[in-house]
Chain A
């Protein structure tokens, strides 16, 4: 009799389990197969949430790499050629520059259309010079609160006045965009003329930078605030579905203009198979999926299962989640996975606040710290030997990289460090207090860096306290100059060392990008001269001279130059990493059969 109770309970349980299992099995039959069989699909992962697909407000690499499939700029970088070379994208050719280097005239390609959208009321909408002027005025509009105003800040004649004018408007919609700006003129439908306030050769690179991509005024007006959900560009793909917080799906843009796979490249590109598709029409894929995967374990599992085609876009951080030891690498190679490393135009450092009463006036102390860090070990621990030791700030990828930099920099030298600490103590008339380092993250990796630094400082008899904080707090501290040392780095926006030099420019002190608060009139003079010059050997010389100055004054300990790496499966073709170009999906080709075979194995 009593066994019946047990039986009944077991029965209930079994029914529950069976029902659950039944639903589970049934769901396989009900799978929502929305993707047509014959379409070529690329699956990639993105490691952080997409903030925006509106080029005017994009500030992070994840968003850029997604939005770049939809939007195009006047210029772009050559996919295969190295060193990186700017080529026309929406422009017909390189700009013609006036004698004084201040007036740029750019012809725009004819017959380029924005993708069809209800906001154009059924008309085909051609791209004109006026679209660029509108888009750039929009960046200047202070009510729009763009994150990207720095691109044009103080550079274009009359645009700052326009920004001043928008302050008097009550809201974003009230701003009158027909108000003329002296420096932005459309000479005719397809000719754009830019007048600069002073010579600025780097503008070419910024015209290849996503925030300067053209948007259509009709779209902005039509969608209003929800423009963030309706990116309308001229690029190879259009947004199909944006499942915020989950994934982004794109399909081939039917209105895409003719663009072809490059037929020239580096000599080794031919044997690496990068030129097999030369001259073919782009893009190769029909559909793109960008999966948001923020935790590393699932991302790695999905990649190994062959669901993701590549291990994702390298993060801002040079520390990649997937740093495999030798053993696993062999395992990966057997699976046909390829590892590609490429130099990043980046330098990472520990910076000193030159306004700090102790550090700012104590050069031996700064130099001592520069001596105490074993950069090789650092690289071994945190990047699995996939980075290069930095002695100065110009990365090896740049043309102006100094091959003799090693002799100028501070190497790892404990003895020298100890001597310098003695000098520093004398200078400080007594002992040295505990130093603090601001760390812009609170995660595991940051904690590991912190432990490493602490130990290094201890070697030369210094005491270090690491202050871990989240990004907003860190930014706040930088703005208020409320810190002693900080860990930071810079990834160049364009392949010109000027982008690094400006970090030490006296006028750029916090809240500008010069977080070192380093002010040196001599350096400033040098910078001002060099930054207005075209690329000549003389300029390279000046760059190197400025770098040597910084190394000697030591406002920062340069640690390493990043080397990014990415893993991809054997069925992904034309996978050449490119650190400045973001809209790369159009070049990729997928061998669908190979992928199928892998997944079912």
Chain B
């Protein structure tokens, strides 16, 4: 068991390195020159040079062959700096407002989670319940209607969900607050975005869980259970749901790291100052440092949660081996 954990841990090292490499290639090599962006308009050449120095942009990307000794140039390259800052989670400060990126992320995580956690719970609870209904009614009109609704839900663009939802539910009919407001509690201003998120997410989830349930129903033990004379209710709840728990839990656990990202569009349209909003702003202002930090942190979280689920599996089921 211990050796499994160790091997599994070692396996994450190349992945983490890969993520560092990808972020470096994307945000330091391909993105191009960003000095102008930091300097603002009408900046003189000397200010630009000063900025390049302050942000380390004047250093070679990997190594500078003209510079000697060779090793020194390598240790002083942008790539090595990138690795160090990633390994120590030191992302520096934003180009735009000079605030530490860590401060931004710490502040944004709360609001994002306040939005995404209820969204996940709601989506999972409702879609599993509905998937049981569907499994129960499989092949009958109820099944078709629910499947149709779920596909319609999946097929609508998310942006349309938000725009129509905000216009009708909040503004026209006044059922919810339109936007964040200082005197509202967190439950109030997140209510509508959560609802929209659930409505948009339920389609795909319902379809997934329906497949899981139907797959389970095809198994031999289900036939045996019916043959024993158990009722549909007992079969569904006692056996099928229990056995379907593994794919369900995997799905849910692997969704957890994404919770931290918040929701790009919902946060912006409802004024929730979370990480999705931060991300959209960073995209708009080309603040690559923030995008880099977000991509990196979410990838690391994903790797960690993957690790945890794998170890849990190994713990629960001794047959699981690491190959």
| Chain A 276-292: CB-based contact to B (< 8 A → 1; otherwise 0) | 00000000000001011
Residue of B nearest to A292 (CB): B271
| Chain A 493-530: CB-based contact to B (< 8 A → 1; otherwise 0) | 00000000000000000011100000000000000000
Q: Contacts A6-B133, A24-B187, A245-B281; is A293 near B36 (CB within 8 Å)? A: no
> Are B97 and A51 in contact, with the CB atoms below 8 A?
yes
Q: How many A-B residue pairs have CB under 8 A?
A: 167
Q: How far is the CA of A225 from the CA of B100 in the complex (A)?
A: 10
> Are B269 and A245 in contact, with the CB atoms below 8 A?
no
| Cβ < 8 Å to B, chain A residues 398-444 | none
> Are A245 and B278 in contact, with the CB atoms below 8 A?
yes
Question: Is chain B's binding surface mostly helix, strand, loop or mixed?
Answer: helix
Q: Does A9 contact B (CB under 8 A)?
A: yes
Q: Does B139 contact A (CB under 8 A)?
A: no
| Chain A 10-54: CB-based contact to B (< 8 A → 1; otherwise 0) | 001100100010011011101111110000000000000111100
| Chain B 31-56: CB-based contact to A (< 8 A → 1; otherwise 0) | 01110111111111111001100100
| Cβ < 8 Å to B, chain A residues 192-206 | none
Q: Which residues of A contact B269 (CB under 8 A)?
A: 295, 297-298
Residue of B nearest to A59 (CB): B40
Q: Which residues of A contact B182 (CB under 8 A)?
A: 34-35, 247, 249, 289
| Cβ < 8 Å to A, chain B residues 153-202 | 163, 166-167, 170-171, 178-188, 191
Q: Which residues of A contact B231 (CB under 8 A)?
A: 1-2
Q: Does A263 contact B (CB under 8 A)?
A: no
Q: Which residues of B contact A243 (CB under 8 A)?
A: 273
Contact of A301 among B97, B99, B179, B187 (CB under 8 A): B179
Residue of B nearest to A442 (CB): B284
Q: Which residues of A contact B163 (CB under 8 A)?
A: 297
Q: How far is the CA of A41 from the CA of B233 in the complex (A)?
A: 59
Q: Does B108 contact A (CB under 8 A)?
A: yes
Contact of A293 among B171, B179, B237 (CB under 8 A): B179
Q: Does B136 contact A (CB under 8 A)?
A: yes
Q: Which residues of B contact A142 (CB under 8 A)?
A: 46-47, 50
Distance of B296 from chain A, by nearest CB (Å): 20
Q: Which residues of B contact A145 (CB under 8 A)?
A: 38-39, 47, 50-51, 54
Distance of A380 from chain B, by nearest CB (Å): 27
Q: Which residues of A contact B171 (CB under 8 A)?
A: 301, 304-305
Q: Which residues of B contact A31 (CB under 8 A)?
A: 183-185, 188
Q: How far is the CA of A467 from the CA of B62 in the complex (A)?
A: 32
Q: Which residues of B contact A59 (CB under 8 A)?
A: 40-41
Q: Which residues of A contact B179 (CB under 8 A)?
A: 291, 293, 298, 301-302
> Are A470 and B286 in contact, with the CB atoms below 8 A?
yes
Q: How far is the CA of A432 from the CA of B217 in the complex (A)?
A: 71
Which of A472-480, A532-540, A574-582 touches B? Answer: A472-480
Distance of B129 from chain A, by nearest CB (Å): 5
Q: How far is the CA of A52 from the CA of B99 in the complex (A)?
A: 9
| Cβ < 8 Å to B, chain A residues 121-163 | 142-143, 145, 147, 149-150, 153
Q: Which residues of A contact B167 (CB under 8 A)?
A: 297, 301
Q: Which residues of B contact A167 (CB under 8 A)?
A: 46, 50
Q: Which residues of A contact B47 (CB under 8 A)?
A: 142, 145, 149
Residue of A nearest to B233 (CB): A5
Residue of A nearest to B187 (CB): A27
Q: Which residues of A contact B191 (CB under 8 A)?
A: 24
Contact of A5 among B43, B178, B232 (CB under 8 A): B232
Q: How far is the CA of A301 from the CA of B231 in the complex (A)?
A: 53
Q: Which residues of A contact B133 (CB under 8 A)?
A: 6, 9
Q: Which residues of B contact A246 (CB under 8 A)?
A: 180, 271, 273
> Are A27 and B104 in contact, with the CB atoms below 8 A?
no
Distance of A197 from chain B, by nearest CB (Å): 17
Q: Contacts A5-B232, A24-B188; is A513 near B42 (CB within 8 Å)? A: yes
Q: Which residues of A contact B122 (CB under 8 A)?
A: 16, 20
Contact of A298 among B45, B166, B236, B285 (CB under 8 A): B166
| Chain B 86-104: CB-based contact to A (< 8 A → 1; otherwise 0) | 0000000000111100001
Q: Which residues of B contact A30 (CB under 8 A)?
A: 185, 187
Q: Does A294 contact B (CB under 8 A)?
A: yes
Residue of A nearest to B46 (CB): A142
Contact of A511 among B42, B50, B136, B284 (CB under 8 A): B42
Q: Does A228 contact B (CB under 8 A)?
A: yes
Residue of A nearest to B118 (CB): A20
Q: Which residues of B contact A149 (CB under 8 A)?
A: 44, 47
| Chain A 566-588: CB-based contact to B (< 8 A → 1; otherwise 0) | 00000000000000000000000
Q: Does B304 contact A (CB under 8 A)?
A: no
Contact of B183 among A9, A23, A34, A302 (CB under 8 A): A34
> Are A476 and B271 in contact, with the CB atoms below 8 A?
no
Q: How far is the CA of A59 from the CA of B126 in the complex (A)?
A: 49
Q: Does B82 contact A (CB under 8 A)?
A: no
Q: Does A4 contact B (CB under 8 A)?
A: yes
Residue of A nearest to B54 (CB): A145
Q: Which residues of A contact B72 (CB under 8 A)?
A: none
Residue of A nearest to B270 (CB): A298
Q: How far is the CA of A294 from the CA of B285 in the complex (A)?
A: 13
Q: How far is the CA of A304 from the CA of B125 in the complex (A)?
A: 37
| Cβ < 8 Å to B, chain A residues 251-305 | 289, 291-295, 297-298, 301-302, 304-305
Q: Which residues of A contact B268 (CB under 8 A)?
A: 294-295
Residue of A nearest to B184 (CB): A31
Distance of A505 from chain B, by nearest CB (Å): 13
> Are B181 and A301 in contact, with the CB atoms below 8 A?
no
> Are A305 and B178 in contact, with the CB atoms below 8 A?
yes
Distance of B107 from chain A, by nearest CB (Å): 7
Q: Does A179 contact B (CB under 8 A)?
A: no
Residue of B nearest to A52 (CB): B97
Task: Report B's interface with A, CB cutoff 8 A.
Answer: 32-34, 36-47, 50-51, 54, 96-99, 104, 107-108, 122, 125-126, 129, 132-133, 136, 163, 166-167, 170-171, 178-188, 191, 231-233, 236-237, 268-271, 273, 277-278, 281, 284-286
Closest 9 CB pairs of A and B: A27-B187, A472-B37, A246-B273, A245-B273, A5-B233, A147-B40, A475-B36, A301-B171, A298-B179
- Contacts A16-B122, A31-B183, A167-B46 aside, 11 further interface pairs with beta carbons under 8 A come to A2-B233, A5-B136, A27-B188, A244-B104, A245-B278, A307-B178, A307-B181, A470-B286, A472-B286, A475-B36, A511-B44
Question: Mind listing 8 A-B residue pairs with CB under 8 Å?
Answer: A2-B232, A12-B129, A16-B125, A34-B183, A145-B54, A245-B273, A301-B166, A305-B171
Task: Report A's interface with B, CB cutoff 8 A.
Answer: 1-2, 4-6, 8-9, 12-13, 16, 20, 23-24, 26-28, 30-35, 49-52, 57, 59, 142-143, 145, 147, 149-150, 153, 167, 225, 228, 243-247, 249, 289, 291-295, 297-298, 301-302, 304-305, 307, 470-473, 475-476, 479, 511-513
